[in-house]
Structure 1
Amino acid sequence: MNSNWRHLLIRHAILLITVALVLGFITGAYGWSMALALAGYLAWILRDLMRLRSWLEKADLEADVPEAKGVWEELFDQVYHLQRRSRQSRDRLQAIIDRAQESTTALRDAVIMVDNSGNLEWWNPAAESLLGLKEPQDVGQPIANLLRHPRFKDYFESGNHAVPLEIASPVNDRVRIQFTITRYGNDEHLMLVRDVTRVHQLEQMRKDFVANVSHELRTPLTVITGYLETLLDNSEGANPRWRRAMEQMQQQATRMQSLLNDLLLLARLEATDYPSDNHPVPMLRVLSSIKTDAQALSAERAHHIVLEADANLSIKGSETELRSAFSNLVFNAVKYTPEKGEIRIRCWRDENGAYLSVQDNGPGIDAKHLPRLTERFYRVDSSRASKTGGTGLGLAIVKHVLLRHKGRLDIESTLLRGSVFTCHFPPSQIVED
């Protein structure tokens, strides 16, 4: 309470006591005089209080402030200024909201707000054309009930939205849409949906082109390889320079065949989202077979290969695809690890899922290369890759196989100390005993 209010209250109290004493002196009833004076003062206060209540109920800034005297006059003015500032702030916020809604209305991409219970709160007009949402009947409805695609439901409920989801539009299956979800506030969701049909078509054209070219090249390459083998088998009396040329041609043809096989495998992996032959794959059996092949590949280089695997662990998926991915990791370790080096293959599980790691003590990889290792044809050292006969597609195949099995590849490496490649599968991919 400021000094003005205190002075007013003191003056009112002195006036009230003075009036009560005068009435008491005249009537001789000081008690009744004091009670009468207090009742009158209370009635005056209640009158101004009712006027304040009536003015606040109108909540009209254009209305004149009620006239009052003393304490109530200052109180009325303060309430008026507070109400005016509040209305101005609300108008500014409403203007910002209106501009935001106008800007999102003009977007071609869909913008959707979902509350922490998964219910629709608001969306722009693009969401109606891309997703078929209708206002007002869809407001407050669970998003999972309106978008029934199983991949969207898994994506929305997983909580892991680092990678966008691409599916067909529920309105038109020829339209491809991409979901990006961002969490904000009290675990609410902001969804952005883009029409990526053109990008999808271009990507499909690229896949078809690679698959078709790879398939068409197999036949002439097979013919060339066959004739080279025949010529080499009957080249005993030929000029040594011609024999050396044919041997180099055969090596490059063999390398080209490996490249085409990897390209065709990648094309098959990209053609579908999930493996067609989905069944339990016993990890110990698969890894034991890969270890035997790795020892044969090592041969005179005499690598020390160690296998530690959970005998009861099985992963749900395609055995052919998983064997291809795991063997790529193990064979890479054999190729790049020096003679008599150690390669450790481990397979285990915990509450977060199943793991397969391949560790070597080879030359290691510089940290700047790690983010791009799974790109097609990316090589840390092209000369080293050519010596080992690599195609640059092995880790790309591993990445695609893991994506089809809901897994991921983690890479750790230190120069001159070796590398660790770890495949992580979620608990949903583990086959329970």
Structure 2
Amino acid sequence: MNKLWLKISLRFFILLFLVLIAIGFFIADMMKNTYMDMTRNQLFQDAHIVSEFINTNSLNEDTNSLQKKIESFYAENQPRITVIDIDGKVLADSEDNPENMENHANRPEFKQLIKGHKKKAESIRYSQTLGYNMMYVATPIKDQHQIIGVIRVAFTLQNIDHAIQKLWVSLGIALGITLILATFIAIRLSKGITRPIEDIIQVASRLTEKDYSSRVRAKTKGELDQLAIAINTLAKSLQHQMEEIRENQQKLTGVLENMVSGVMLIQPTGRIALVNPAMEKIIGTSAEQLTGKLHIEAGKSFGLSQLIDRSLKEVTSIHDEVHMYFPTERILDTHIAPYVGVNGDIKGVITVLHDITEIRRLEKIRSEFVANVSHELKTPITSLKGFSETLLDGAMHDPEVTKSFLTIIHDESERLHRLITDILHLSKIEQHQIPFHPEPLDVIKVIYETVETMQEELNKKQLTITLPEEDPVIIDAEKDRLRQIILNLIANAITYTPEKGSIEIKLDDEEEKIKIHVKDSGIGIAKEDLPRIFERFYRVDKARSRNSGGTGLGLAIVKHLVESHNGAIEVDSEEGKGTEFTIILPKKQY
């Protein structure tokens, strides 16, 4: 029974039924009492009339005359009159022969008058002879204020019982019709009242199910109308607030998902509640696997876990640097701050991790670069200073010594000039200060032109060079940059290849790109040096590089020039067997 109108109607039906039953009993009892009072009064009046006609002397002298008089006064279906003496003997009776009647001294109404000395008495009892209830009233017969007998009047209550039964039937029908009509009206009224209430309940239920677009549509009046307006206002407010919450959540989700820094929310229990994609990459585990786990299990970093536990325990912000070794070795700038609720209780800590591994690596490279530049500049400057001081001390008077020293000073000056030029050139490339103007070029032609300029160095070391076939291969490139790329790679190959070695230049023409391979049979590069060969001033064989006049910036310049063409450079080398550089360049520049 879930319908509110049905509950109200049923309760109203039960209440109305009880009220109507109570009213029926009250009316029936009132009607019965009215009938009884009327009958009682009538019987007492009959008894009084009879007592007026009875001669007190005839009670003991002329019973036959008294009997005839009583019989003549009352016919059948009239109240029954019985005259009784003080001893209970029946002297006369309107319906029966007194001689055949038993003594009435034990009758209740008789005893009430004789023993109680009452002015009148009554009794209602069931008649075994007649089979229905009778009403008996009695009044005393007095002689000089002395009771000498009793006049009893009896009347059957059968008619009253029949009347009461008819009354009950009438009342039952009337009450039934009233109950039916009242129930029908109650149902209509309850439906009219409960329909908006049920609508309000339904809207409230939908609001609990997060359907904030639902509204109360029923037309009502009075307090229900005020309630419906309040519910609709509440629904609008909730809808507006939820839209704001969703919008803020989307903003927060967008920020978290696009942050470069890793963010992780730790509950007071030490379990992970939230991680963003950047944190997944840093830790090397997906969010589904991280959520709900202890931070020591997920991060696998004892140092980080110590900082988180400390922040939880001391409710303080912490900034420190942490090393992680899983899934790869990383240096993390760690910010940990407690998240405190409105009541001041801690809700957890927020951990923000910045991967500064590359920054630290670049700082190290920068430091090494400064040291290398200082070292590279120091050598020629020291030579220049030393030889010039020697000349000033008197050596310039010796022509041969002067010529030798000036030659060395010139060579060191040239070396210093090349070094400074390469540094400035590399700086301009890195800062994109040199304009890039690609044009259609024949790569094969550029390779041949570049090799021609290096022919003298090749001949000095008796190196054999193999070139690709002279079939034109056209790409979009800048001639000077492409030429410098090939030039630096061939120069490197010449430097690190022993005499009578070989160099091979090969070109792969693919659909959208080309691959230029420069392979030598030189000393090769150790595996541990391969990741660093494109760093500035990094040399595999420092002594040979300096002796050859190299600045240590050639491969760094090559890498930047290749990247300016939206290309890539790869290296494959084995120590003692040679090195192969592969330049990958797109055919079209967009």
Q: TM-score, normalised by structure 1?
A: 0.46
Higher radius of gyration, 1 or 2: 2
Q: TM-score, normalised by structure 2?
A: 0.35
User: Which of the pair has the greater relative contact order for Cα pairs under 8 Å at 6+ separation?
Assistant: 1
